[in-house]
Amino acid sequence: MSFIAVDPTSDFSFHNLPYGIFSTPDSPRHRIGVAIGDQILDLSAVKSLFRGPVLSKHQDVFDQPTLNAFMALGYEAWREARRTVQMLLSANESTLRDDMSLRSRAFIHQSAVIMHLPANIGDYTDFYSSRDHATNVGIMFRGKENALMPNWLRLPVGYHGRASSVVVSGTPIRRPSGQMRPDQTKPPVFGPSKKLDIELEMAFFVGGGNPLGEPIPIQKAHEHIFGMVLMNDWSARDIQAWEYVPLGPFLGKNFGTTISPWVVPMEALLPFAEPNPIQDPEPLPYLQQHDAYTFNINLFVSLKGKGMAEAVNICRSNFKYMYWTMKQQLAHHTVNGCNVKPGDLLASGTISGPDPESFGSMLELSWNGSKNIDLGGEGTRTFLNDGDEVTISGYCEGDGYRVGFGTCQGTILPALLL
């Protein structure tokens, strides 16, 4: 355990130690930190203590304003860094524990910092890997007999999103305007989206990349997956419905995607790995994996509207409901020789489970606006109103501790009228 006191319900236990980028009002320089309890360990203040065979030559990565350079060092560097941080924070290790001068420089209370995007995100890909979600949407728009498209059970379906509009938790989201066709007998109209939605997702950051033309085999995929964050892929369903044929989502998706600021390393999540879902038909050989890489992560979505005294939970789901794993997603993404780079972001797609309370979008919760979502006596919703504050949270539950992600939060601002 650590000499830093950690509440058992804290997301940031000694078993977690996620990485993030922070600054303070009196020191605006962006720095790499590790969260433990309500504290942040500033790695730039202790960089000289990373003396292992890999990081002793690369201590400068902890002076960088993003995680990209650290991610690029690869799998062995990440493992070495985690062992060093665990050692420095251990109750039995005096190096940091007993040096009060160093401690005063190295630790900052989380309430005193400003969090930033963890990495410079070069590219962003969004998958569509929840069978329950894909089935629900398919039933809504194509009927039960044609709910899943013929390719869905054969490969991880995805599309390339917009990296420039990925923002850190707490950034307000402007209601988008665009073309819609609410009445199929009339021409399209332009205006603010009336079906603004959430998507409960998670995403992983690529660590070490691959050269152009050289796929990442599924047996090596874990060496390229740095860690995970929460994600809300805000979606304008009415804009999306009119534009998506034939090339897929565009303006209905690219106006804003929110992620949580703390990146939980995969090593912290491995104790919560569960057997992968049975995949029938069996995937092609390049997608076959047999080690457990599905994770038991409890996920929650809450909504607080204008005038509401407190937020109301509208969804309880779990990452273990995913059909395609992160290894399969990465192997498929690169099988044609596509190169990925440190800091690239790959998202799960909406995470829905088998029960209505586990549906990860308002599209499903309201069944495309045909029924109300109850806000516990504080009104109802079908889709988002201006002023609505949406918060996604998630954690793995251990024996007396949690490995959590913090929060992924955004508030809807009114559309700008053109």
Residue 28 CB coordination number (10 Å): 8
CA 82 to chain centre: 21
Residue 199 in marked binding region? yes
The values of phi and psi at residue 20, to 5°, are -155, 170
Alpha helix stretches (DSSP H) within 246-342: 266-269, 326-334
Tell me which amino acid residue 397 is: E
CA 239 to chain centre: 24
Residue 201 in marked binding region? yes
Residue 233 in marked binding region? yes
For the question of residue 58 being annotated catalytic, the response is: no
Tokens 């309890």: give the residue: 37
CA 312 to chain centre: 21
Short-list 391, 383, 395, CA closest to 409: 391
Residue 64 in marked binding region? no
The CA distance from 258 to 226, in Å, is 19
Residue 257 in marked binding region? yes
Q: Residues 15, 133, 332, 333: which is the catalytic one?
A: 133
Token representation of residue 342: 């440190």
Q: What are the Cα distances from residue 17, in Å, to 38, 252, 295, 344, 359?
A: 12, 35, 18, 21, 30
Angle CA(195)–CA(200)–CA(202) in degrees, nearest 5? 140
Alpha helix stretches (DSSP H) within 253-347: 266-269, 326-334
Token representation of residue 131: 């069978």
- 200-206 vs 225-232, strand pairing mode: antiparallel
CA 139 to chain centre: 27
Residue 240 in marked binding region? yes
Counting Cα atoms < 13 Å in the Cβ hemisphere of 415 gives 17
The CA distance from 203 to 348, in Å, is 6
The CA distance from 333 to 122, in Å, is 15
Residues facing 23 on adjacent strands? 114
Active site residues: 133
Binding residues for Mg(2+): 233, 253, 257
